Structure 1
Amino acid sequence: MNKVAKEIDEYKRGKTKEEIAEKYGLNPNEIVSLASNENSYGPPPKAIQAIKENAGRVYRYPSPKDAERIRREIAQKTKLKPENVVLGTGSDGIMESLMKMYIEPGDQVIIPTPTFSYYTLLTKIYKAKPKHIQRNQNYSLPKNISNEINQDTKIIFICSPNNPTGNTVTTEKLKQILKQDILVVLDEAYIEFADQTHAPLVKQHDNLVVLRTFSKAYGLAGLRIGYALTNPKITNKYKAVSPPFPLAIPSIEAAIAALNDKEHHKKTIKNNQRERKRLQKEIPLKTYPSKGNYVFIDTSPIKATKITKKLMKKGVIVRDCTPIPGCKDTHIRITVGTPKENTKTIQAIKKITKK
């Protein structure tokens, strides 16, 4: 085992219903799981049907035609071309291939914090140096962030909407960063819930990669389907370093079906926007504006670890953000659930904060 593997910590995922049910003696069917930003309304019916119809094909590897079909569907959705699309086992799989392409040991990776902690973990795995830049008080990117870039900087990760804070990056700020001679990885995992995308900029900037996923708005987290939008120069080399079969046949068919299940997608976005506003209004704690399917909250004066534990005992799982660089020990994140799940969550928080 190498030195890096010995020293890094495992990615801290959200707790599952099964774990909390066993720990606190609860009925798993009555537990609300709002820690991992999954789609609380489930997968599209058309995607489920596609999985069933293609289950018998799993003894074969996906063909080049299968991959080309999903790239064409994604290109049509994003108003780009198939040569602008690459595929991966979740967006984290795409990030790993990008690290193979751009990072040498000792290189620097800029990570504005707080943000998705996997960027830091991946940087360390590839023996690069993460440089954490604290975001502004409202969690926007610092005005002088470009000044932090030096000859060792190879990549900057920008999440928009940012996880866990929910805010987006402005076009002006992004274009300022794109002027630098580094790879800009823009993670738009939650973009379907927002009202702005920067994907069209890949036509003008050959150092931009826009990450997307089917895990959030499309409700297919368990299938691990990711894609990225970028220029053909990057896509060609990406194919050389990425695994030969990044997506399984059922995943490809489910993703295509999900893109075409517009009724379910529209319902998901509409319900999320309504329930997100409700959580922000009714939770008796400080909440921040959000464009994602989650709400970032300051639990002061109660510590985040304490309130998340009390919520778990009541059958409500939320994310304690304390371990995330740049977060305070009073920050939590709550996924927007169904009306019933949100009601239970709001009531539980009100009971805890009254004591």
Structure 2
Amino acid sequence: MEQLVRSCYKKKSGYVFAKKAEDIAREYGMSRIARLASNENPGPLSPAALEAAEAALRTVNRYPDERVNVLMNALRSTYGDYHFVTGVGMDGVIETIIRTLVDPGDQVAISTPSFSFYALAAMGQGAEVVTVPREADFSVDTKKLIKAAKIAKITFLCSPNNPTGNATSTQDVEEILAGIEGLLFLDNAYVEFSGIDYLPLMKRYENLVLGRTFSKVHSLAGLRIGYAFTPRWLPPWYQRAGTPFTVNSVSAAAAAAALGDKEHAERFIAHVREWRKRITEEVKYPVLPSDANFVMIDVAPHTSDAMVEELARQGVVVRSCRSFAGLEDHYIRVSIGEDWENEQFIQVINSL
């Protein structure tokens, strides 16, 4: 019966995950592993978010609110008069927006190297994927991107970019918005760590979506909840195309409470900025400038996988960048973890 599987999935591999810390610990007989591969917040969730989640658990015998009002109200209270959609992680938002707008054969443009799920989700909808390589320093050539994305239904741009860490300026984003005919999905999963504010662009452009997530700064990666700022015209069509009852009641309650705990977020942002600076200064390999909660490191002459394997043997899990299309095979991505994890990483990589 495998002949029934669509040819696009037979030709392309799926999403590539980092090695599991539990598997490495078992393989090498270790009790504690530095988990620096998945760009998570290593700290616990906000006490307010935990309390809200526990209260919501008492209601899970009922379907969640299909309008996710508890979270929508919290988003408006936090950010003001914007339009929002929600999903199961930002992945769910991406997938639903593609399903809403893209017909089989339509073009979807992606600035690469970047998050691989854009292409996987577009391919699943039957889109023609057009990749637009970044410059040697991983900046975006706006004119090249505009030319390649001229007729694309959706253009995906990640800023700060995963895995390179660099951000695209608001001026460059505005140039892209003015030059393309379709929608720009600006992935802002790591924007809180950058200090860049793209929100004013929402008031001036009807072809901009800003994707966000609770997985990073808010410590809710395990609850899988994402959202996006959208133009006024998009939410009704998004709801029509979306899966019913997507966001569960526990995730919605925790996310709404997390938005109100600004001190929790600010502590982690300060922690990330401090350790980005230390890693950049103390690691002997070239560390690329980053506006995210991770850094990308050039480990040449080692390959990505060889370095990841050697670090794993010594109790540190980082991400190989070999699977990122358009990126040479000598980069690793390292998340900012707890103090002891970051210190262990610096000590180990400098000893190699």
TM-score, structure 2 length as denominator?
0.95
1:25 equivalent in structure 2: 29
Check conservation: 1:115, 1:163, Cα contact below 8 A. Answer: yes
Give the C-alpha shift of residue 106 in structure 1.
1.9
CA–CA distance in 1 between the matches of 2:28 and 2:120?
30
The one-letter code of the counterpart of 2:70 is R
C-alpha RMSD over aligned residues: 1.4
SS of corresponding position for 1:233:
coil
Aligned positions of 1:1-355 closer than 5 A: 1-27=5-31, 30-64=32-66, 67-81=68-82, 84-144=83-143, 145-151=145-151, 153-179=152-178, 180-352=180-352
Gaps of 5+ in 1: none
Check conservation: 1:275, 1:338, Cα contact below 8 A. Answer: no
SS of corresponding position for 1:85:
strand
Check conservation: 2:150, 2:181, Cα contact below 8 A. Answer: no
Deviations along 1:201-255, whole A, 9 cap, x unmatched? 2222111111000001101000011001011210111111112212111111100
Check conservation: 2:186, 2:211, Cα contact below 8 A. Answer: yes
Check conservation: 2:142, 2:176, Cα contact below 8 A. Answer: no
Q: For the structure 1 residues 143 and 240, does the alpha-carbon distance in structure 2 shift closer, same or farther, using more than 3 Å as the test?
A: closer
Check conservation: 1:8, 1:124, Cα contact below 8 A. Answer: no
CA–CA distance in 2 between the matches of 1:331 and 1:130?
25
The one-letter code of the counterpart of 2:23 is E
CA–CA distance in 2 between the matches of 1:59 and 1:222?
20
CA–CA distance in 1 between the matches of 2:288 and 2:221?
25
Check conservation: 2:163, 2:296, Cα contact below 8 A. Answer: yes
TM-score, structure 1 length as denominator?
0.94
CA–CA distance in 1 between the matches of 2:13 and 2:236?
33
CA–CA distance in 2 between the matches of 1:58 and 1:74?
22
The one-letter code of the counterpart of 1:37 is N
Gaps of 5+ in 2: none
Q: For the structure 1 residues 264 and 122, does the alpha-carbon distance in structure 2 shift closer, same or farther, using more than 3 Å as the test?
A: same
Q: Higher mean Cα deviation, 3-12 or 217-226?
A: 3-12
Deviations along 1:153-180, whole A, 9 cap, x unmatched? 2111010111111111112211121122
SS of corresponding position for 1:131:
strand
Deviations along 1:7-62, whole A, 9 cap, x unmatched? 331201122211212232322xx101110100012321221122222211111111
CA–CA distance in 2 between the matches of 1:177 and 1:46?
39
Q: Quote the sequence identity (%).
A: 37
* Structure 1 segments of 4+ aligned residues over 4 angstroms from their partners: none
The one-letter code of the counterpart of 1:46 is A
Check conservation: 1:111, 1:156, Cα contact below 8 A. Answer: yes
CA–CA distance in 2 between the matches of 1:237 and 1:200?
24
The one-letter code of the counterpart of 2:17 is R
